Each structure stands twice: as structure tokens, then as C-alpha cells.
Amino acid sequence: MTFDNTYHKLPDRFYKEVTAERFSKPELLAFNENLSDDLGLNLGSQSDIELANFFSGQTLLKGSHPIALPYAGHQFGHFVPQLGDGRAMLLGEIVNPDSKRFDIQLKGSGQTFFSRNGDGKSAIGPVIREYILSEAMYHLGVPTTRALAAVATGDLVYREETVPGAVFTRIASSHIRIGTFQYFAAKDDLDGLKTLLDYSIQRHYPESGTNPAISFLQKVIQAQVSLVSNWMSLGFIHGVMNTDNMSISGETIDYGPCAFMDQFNAHQVYSFIDRDGRYSYMNQGPILQWNLSRLADCLIPLAHSDKKKAIEMLNSELATISDLFRNEWIERMKRKLGLVSGQAHENDEKLITSWLDYLEKEELDFTLSFRKLENLLVDNDNPSDSSFKQTTEFDTFKTAWTNRLKDQDLELAIVKEKMNGVNPIYIPRNHQVERAIQQAIVGDLSVFNEMNQVLKNPYVYQPNLDFYRVTPLPEEEVTTTFCGT
Ligand code: AMP
Ligand code: MG
């Protein structure tokens, strides 16, 4: 593996050098061999012990220059001028055989310049959670950071209780966040901002237009609109859409108090600190716009020498977000309903909303209800499926939906196949993630391993694995998840 560390070549104020803490007994919990091969890492011949030492920072891979990156961020609406990698270190960048560049970062490897009062460590729970969720997200087809490895440190960390510590290895197309721009903007460091913009464009959006700041904003808008509408089409709630947790590449990053919903509830929140529902399921669209406006604030001095003109130009980009988002959300929801061809229909949004209203009112499972819809598509003229409660709302939806499907004049088998390609059977359900974590804490990785296996094919039925398909019993339901500290 050859490192090529371009971020380390940026000016000194873009990073701080860092070394990992010494751990008692690093042990490999998981290593993602497929991902390692895709990245061209050539680690196949390494022993588990060597891998555990690499991916807990005990042994440095050749060419690695570990650094921690500064960033700022709005946390639940409040600006913090300096956050930064408080428990993470970037080992370096590698370029895969397809010439794509990726960061390899350790999370939980000890204190850095940016740790503030934190211990720089991770408990095993958040490591297991991020491993399962980020890989599941990838296999569901959503842009995301990925899990390369998880290592138990052999040491304890102190949270509400004492728990085993672990280190997570994350792969990302970069770790540049909206908050990275905010960090330099808050310091009035115009040179820093310019350098960061040039670097970001070169790394993520090289085909930029005549005004780099404006075309960069356009690209980030497109990437993040696509990301958040994709999350919502799968019932995903990120939970901490702070500006420091929004990557400019449009990848899902920072799996903290996040969750895939079971029962559909438009106002669902999981994070125990999100009392006002700022990051609820339905609020993710408006928050996306709010966050992108914070990025636009940083770009003012780069967009035009005349401040008024710059603001005008940036505002006209921001003004496109709500329509872009609404259209993309409708497109994705239409595909879930099998509406895959033909003209946009003015009533499609109503149809989608009536279905979601029905799910919400009857407290139905988001994922399974979409998947089961195909059972209604039979050739007889009056299909019925007893597994859906036959209310007036349901009948109205069903009639409108089946009529709309007839309009598009596609064979039912094709419609079903397309629906099954976007409506998963398996999602990382919270109660099972919890079970995987509880078992891992006592040294049993069986649920963790099996879940990772099942979630590699979320759209395909897998016999004898109903455990991972079913919804939680009332007593198993997880209503709160915690930040990944
Ligand atoms: P997060 O909630 O994971 O997005 O983290 C928010 C900020 O808190 C980031 O700057 C983290 O680096 C920092 N942080 C979280 N946990 C710790 C910890 N255990 N030690 C040091 N810094 C931390
Ligand atoms: Mg974060």
C-alpha cells in the first residue's frame, strides 16, 4: 500500500501531528477484506495481530503521517469555532486501482490537539454501531464512509459505566466538512479558505465552472440533496446533522444517534439530546438547506469581490434547494411505488403522501410495508392483501395507485422487480444493532458478524434469517440512541 498524503502537504494550520495512544492488547474484531482488496491495500498476508496493531495505530503503515484536522461547526444551531478531530487521526490517503482517492482514518486512537476535555477514545458500542450501519448503508446503495476494521484495545473506557475500548477504521473520500470551511471563515483566514476551496474542488469536483465558489456550492448542493433524499427513501434518520457532520463529498458521515425507523413516524427523533426535534425524519430537508446556507456564508469572500453581488449569486443557488429536494424525494418515492416510467403525474405527490399518512396512522413498519406492496399487484382486478388493514384510506390509496400503475403500461413482473430493487427487506434495525453491541461487550461477535453478512444483500430474501427481517417486539423497541462518544 502506498500513501499519498496531499492534506499533509497543505499549510501547517490545516492539521496537527498526532500519535496514537499505547493500548494494552489490541485484538482484531473485524477486518473488511473485500473493501481492503477494492482499495488495493495488499494486506491479505498480514496476521490478525499485525492488522490489529495497524488499525489501532500501534504500528504505523509505511508512508503514513498521522494528523488530526481542525474544523468548526454549528452543533444544534450553536456555533463552535473550534471542534476538530478530538479522537480521530488521519493515517493518510491512498489511491485505489480506479484512481479514486480515499482517507484512512482511525477513530478512538487517543487524544489529539483538539480533544478539549475528551479522552480521545471510543467505547466498543459506537464502533460496532458504525461498522454495521456504514456497511449496511453502502450495500443499500447510499454514498457513505465505510468500515475497514474494528479493533478492541484491551483497555477500558469510562462513560456512564466502564466499557471495553475499541478503535474504528473509517474510509472516506475525504474528511472535509461544511465545518472545515466554517473553521477558516471564523478566523477570517481568507488564504486558508481559498486553499481549502481549491483543494476541495480538485479532490471532489474537478470539472468546475467559471466561478469556482459558485460551481462548488452547486455541486455540494446536488450531492447533499441526493444524499438526504436517499436517506429518507430508506427511513433513515441521521440524528446529528450538525454542520461538522456534513461532508462536502455528499457521503454519510458520523454514525452517532442515527437509526433506520421501524414504524413510520414523520416526526421521529432518536437522539436523546434532540428534544426539539431539530433533526427529526421530516426536518432533514429543511436542515439540509440550513446547513448549505452556512456553507454559502463561508463562500461570500470567494464568490465575488463585491460582497453584495456575492451574496446575490450565492442566494440564487440556495434558492434552488427546496425544489431540487422535493423533486428528488418525489422521484425516489415514486420508484418505491413502482412508478418508474412515463410522464410525471401531478397527483404523484398526493399519492405518496396518502400512503405515508396511512402508514403513520396505522403505525406500520416503513421498510416492510413498502416491500409488501408488491403483493397487491396481481392480475385480477380486485387485489387484496389481508396483511394490510383495509381502511377507507387504504382503499382510496390502493385504487389510485393501481390506476396510476395501469397508466404506465408496464408488465407487472417488471414493476415488481423494479420495486424490489429499491425496497429493501433487511435494514440494520436498532434492536438488533443493540443486541450485536451487548453481545460484543461480552466478547461474542456472532450477531455482529451475521448482521454484516445479511446486510450485504439487503434487497434479496435470505432463507432462515427472518430474525434480521422482523420488527422489534414492544419490549425490544429502541427509542433512544446515543452519540458515538
Ligand atoms: P461527534 O458527536 O462524534 O460528531 O463529535 C463532536 C466533537 O466532539 C468532535 O470534535 C469530536 O472529535 C469530539 N469528541 C467526541 N468524543 C470525544 C472524545 N471521547 N474525546 C475527544 N473528543 C471527542
Ligand atoms: Mg462528528
Mutate to test the pocket of ligand 1, among 18, 21, 76, 87 (most ligand atoms within 8 A of CB): 87
Cα 296 to middle of ligand 2, angstroms: 20
Q: Are residues 106 and 161 in the same domain?
A: yes
Please give the number of the atom of ligand 1 that sits closest to the Cα of 71.
10
Helix (H) or strand (E) holding 236: strand 236-237
Ligand that lies nearest to the alpha carbon of residue 121, given by its number in the listed order: 1
Protein residue with least CA distance to atom 14, ligand 1: 86
Q: Are residues 254 and 168 in the same domain?
A: no
Please give the number of the atom of ligand 1 that sits closest to the Cα of 83.
10
Q: Residues 256, 126: contact at Cβ < 8 Å?
A: yes
pLDDT band at 294 (very low <50, low <70, confident <90, very high): very high
Q: Are residues 161 and 219 in the same domain?
A: no
pLDDT at 342 over 70: no
Ligand that lies nearest to the alpha carbon of residue 69, given by its number in the listed order: 1
Question: What pLDDT, on a 0 to 100 scale, did the predictor assign at position 211?
Answer: 97
Query: What residues contact residue 1 under an 8 Å CB cut-off, 6+ apart?
Result: 40, 41, 42, 43, 61, 62, 63, 94
Cα 456 to middle of ligand 1, angstroms: 29
**Is residue 136 classed as helix, strand or coil in its secondary structure?**
helix
Determine the average pLDDT of the residues in 469-478. 84
- Residue 410 within a domain: no
Q: Are residues 150 and 193 in the same domain?
A: no
What whole-number distance in Å separates Cα of residue 249 and Cα of residue 224?
8
Beta bridge partners of 147: 170
Report which of 51, 11, 328, 350 is spatially closest to residue 194, judged by C-alpha positions: 11
- Residue 304 within a domain: yes
**Is residue 459 classed as helix, strand or coil in its secondary structure?**
coil
Protein residue with least CA distance to atom 11, ligand 1: 86
Q: What is the mean pLDDT of the chain?
A: 94
Determine the average pLDDT of the residues in 9-28. 98
Q: Are residues 394 and 279 in the same domain?
A: yes
Determine the average pLDDT of the residues in 28-53. 96
Q: Which of 85, 103, 244, 348 is catalytic?
A: 244
Q: Residues 42, 1: contact at Cβ < 8 Å?
A: yes
Please give the number of the atom of ligand 1 that sits closest to the Cα of 483.
2
Question: What pLDDT, on a 0 to 100 scale, did the predictor assign at position 474?
Answer: 82
Whole-angstrom CA distances from 166 to 20, 24, 130, 434 are 13, 11, 12, 16
User: Could you give the number of structural domains in the chain?
Assistant: 2
- Residue 40 within a domain: yes
Question: What pLDDT, on a 0 to 100 scale, did the predictor assign at position 271?
Answer: 85
Domain boundary among 144, 172, 200: 172
pLDDT in tens, 81-111: 999 999 999 999 999 999 999 999 999 999 9
Protein residue with least CA distance to atom 16, ligand 1: 485
What whole-number distance in Å separates Cα of residue 477 and Cα of residue 430?
8
Q: Are residues 143 and 222 in the same domain?
A: no
Cα 483 to middle of ligand 1, angstroms: 9
Q: What is the DSSP letter of 341?
A: S
Q: Decide if 48 is catalytic.
A: no
Report which of 439, 425, 435, 404 is spatially closest to residue 470, judged by C-alpha positions: 425
Q: Is the torsion defined by CA of 187, 192, 197, 199 positive or negative? A: negative
Q: Are residues 258 and 310 in the same domain?
A: yes
Taking the whole predicted model, whether its pTM rises above 0.85 is answered as yes
Q: Are residues 135 and 230 in the same domain?
A: no
pLDDT band at 372 (very low <50, low <70, confident <90, very high): very high
Q: Give the whole-number percent of the chain exceeding pLDDT 90.
A: 86
Report which of 240, 263, 227, 236 is spatially closest to residue 78, judged by C-alpha positions: 240
Grid cell listed for 119: 479522552
Question: What pLDDT, on a 0 to 100 scale, did the predictor assign at position 286?
Answer: 97
pLDDT band at 382 (very low <50, low <70, confident <90, very high): low
Report which of 255, 199, 249 is spatially closest to residue 220, judged by C-alpha positions: 249
Whole-angstrom CA distances from 307 to 31, 299, 312, 390 are 50, 10, 9, 59
Cα 118 to middle of ligand 2, angstroms: 13
- Residue 476 within a domain: no
Ligand that lies nearest to the alpha carbon of residue 75, given by its number in the listed order: 1
pLDDT at 463 over 60: yes
Q: Which residue has the higher pLDDT, 342 or 83?
A: 83
pLDDT in tens, 263-282: 999 999 988 888 889 999 99
**Is residue 101 classed as helix, strand or coil in its secondary structure?**
strand
Question: What pLDDT, on a 0 to 100 scale, did the predictor assign at position 48?
Answer: 98
Strands (E), 64-132: 67-68, 73-75, 78-80, 88-95, 101-107, 122-123
- Residue 49 within a domain: yes
What whole-number distance in Å separates Cα of residue 68 and Cα of residue 64?
13
Question: What pLDDT, on a 0 to 100 scale, did the predictor assign at position 43?
Answer: 92
- Residue 474 within a domain: no
Q: Are residues 353 and 268 in the same domain?
A: yes
Ligand that lies nearest to the alpha carbon of residue 239, given by its number in the listed order: 1
**Is residue 190 classed as helix, strand or coil in its secondary structure?**
helix
Protein residue with least CA distance to atom 15, ligand 1: 485
Protein residue with least CA distance to atom 7, ligand 1: 83
Q: In the chain, count of helices (H) and strands (E)? A: 15, 12
- Residue 237 within a domain: yes
What whole-number distance in Å separates Cα of residue 103 and Cα of residue 96?
11
Domain containing residue 255: 188-369+389-401
Cα 386 to middle of ligand 1, angstroms: 48
**Is residue 228 classed as helix, strand or coil in its secondary structure?**
helix
Whole-angstrom CA distances from 117 to 111, 152, 281 are 9, 23, 31
pLDDT in tens, 158-193: 998 999 999 999 999 999 999 999 999 999 999 999
Cα 211 to middle of ligand 1, angstroms: 35
Grid cell listed for 146: 465505510
Cα 160 to middle of ligand 1, angstroms: 16
Q: Are residues 232 and 309 in the same domain?
A: yes
Q: Which residues approach ligand 1 with their CB closer than 6 A?
A: 83-87, 115, 118-121, 240, 245, 254, 256, 483-485
Q: Are residues 194 and 97 in the same domain?
A: no
pLDDT in tens, 197-229: 999 999 999 987 899 999 999 999 999 999 999
Q: Are residues 168 and 205 in the same domain?
A: no
- What amino acid is encoded at 306 in this protein? D
Protein residue with least CA distance to atom 3, ligand 1: 484
Protein residue with least CA distance to atom 13, ligand 1: 86
- Residue 90 within a domain: yes
